[in-house]
Amino acid sequence: MGPVKQFNNIPYGRQHITDEDIAAVAEVLRGPFLTQGPHIGAFETAFSNYIGCQYSIAVANGTAALHLCCMALGVTEGTRVITTPITFSASANCVRYCGGDVFFADIDPATALLDINAVRTLIEKHPKGYFSGIIPVDFAGYPVDMAAFRELADEHGLWLLEDSCHSPGGSFTDTKTIDHRCGDGSLADLAIFSYHPVKHIAAGEGGMITTNNEALYKHLLRLRTHGITNKPAEFTEPYPGEPERGGWYMELQELGYNYRLTDMQAALGNSQLTRVDAMLARRQQIAKRYDDAFAGTSVTTIIPPASVTHAYHLYVIQVADRKGLYDSLRTQNIMAQVHYIPVHLMPYYRQFGWKPGDFPNAEHYYARCLSLPMFPTLTDDEQTFVIDSVLAYCQ
């Protein structure tokens, strides 16, 4: 028998703001700093400790993080970078912001992640040095095998930028039985995270760059603040008429951006970080219940091996009649969503020659994918309603 109970609205994702979060932000509002204050550094340190990296740089949002990373990695006009078509467009746009050229490679249908074999084939079709870097994406919270990508990148002299927006707390065990947390700096040159409201840590907006590379860290600190620093370059002479530099001294050493996080957002992010493990555990519990419910049905799911800790930003199913199921769920106030329309099919990227049929695995995935509600405060009753509604349509 089909579902009978109705709910007002069940979104695919939702932030969870507690009284402690509100108090943390209120404390900042009552204090002397709203923009760059002490909560920025505290958040960066706490996030570094959580992820296991040496350096974290808080920025305005995940897209800003990607843009700054491309700048720091030297992307300019003519730089060629490879990424996945199944991602939010910012993973590709960041290359274009710097004048670089985006190349896509197909996904692995078993994981929906960038297929390393497709990347290798693409690289080997071109002369050595043709490409500069790769941007793998931990899609939906499923960690990319960055150890394999690191080996490939080193073989061809490429940098790696890991888009970890979906995967704080995710990890994988490599073939040497070493455990790597997403964005921990052990494999990628740089990694980025997002604090958009539907992500694991909600700060309204916001992002973080993580790395173990001190030179990149120092460069990124300048780039996020207009390219300005109060530390003189060795070659810089004092300004005319200023034999000694005063406490007001600063230098614009390169063209940067105002991509800073505010103290209010940092306080909220830091408060959320204190319970991120509990929220991750709840996401995994919800995913397990979905997995069990859809086993043996016409609903296809992606279940990672034991060597992978999936962070479950999204819970994605694949079905034959995606549009029909989407419409049916909407009539029942279940706001399922699609992640993502392949980036190479977007009108902007079509102008560069990408077309339907270029990446059949990505396009087949897109035709069938649907993200079901996945957030820590999803109740058991709400999830039962979602499961029953999906199965009633699909069976």
Query: What positions carry a catalytic annotation?
Result: 199
DSSP 3-state helix, strand, coil percentages of the chain (rounded to 5)?
A: 35, 15, 45
Go through the chain and tell me how many residues it has.
Answer: 395
Tokens of 52: 């296991």
Place of tokens 């992002």: 207
Tokens of 129: 């040095």
Residue 116 to residue 164: CA distance in whole angstroms: 17
Residue 53 to residue 336: CA distance in whole angstroms: 34
Q: Which of 163, 168, 225, 161 is nearest to 202 (CA)?
A: 168
Calculate the CA 251 to chain-centre distance.
32
Residue 229 to residue 206: CA distance in whole angstroms: 22
Residues 141 and 312 sit within 8 Å (Cβ to Cβ): yes
Burial of residue 3 (CB within 10 Å: 0-12, 13-18, 19+) is middle
Please state, in angstroms and as integers, the Cα–Cα distance from residue 179 to each residue in 45, 105, 143, 237, following that order: 21, 26, 12, 48
The residues facing 251 across adjacent strands are 229
Tokens of 355: 């077309």
Tokens of 307: 């060597």
Residues 189 and 155 sit within 8 Å (Cβ to Cβ): no
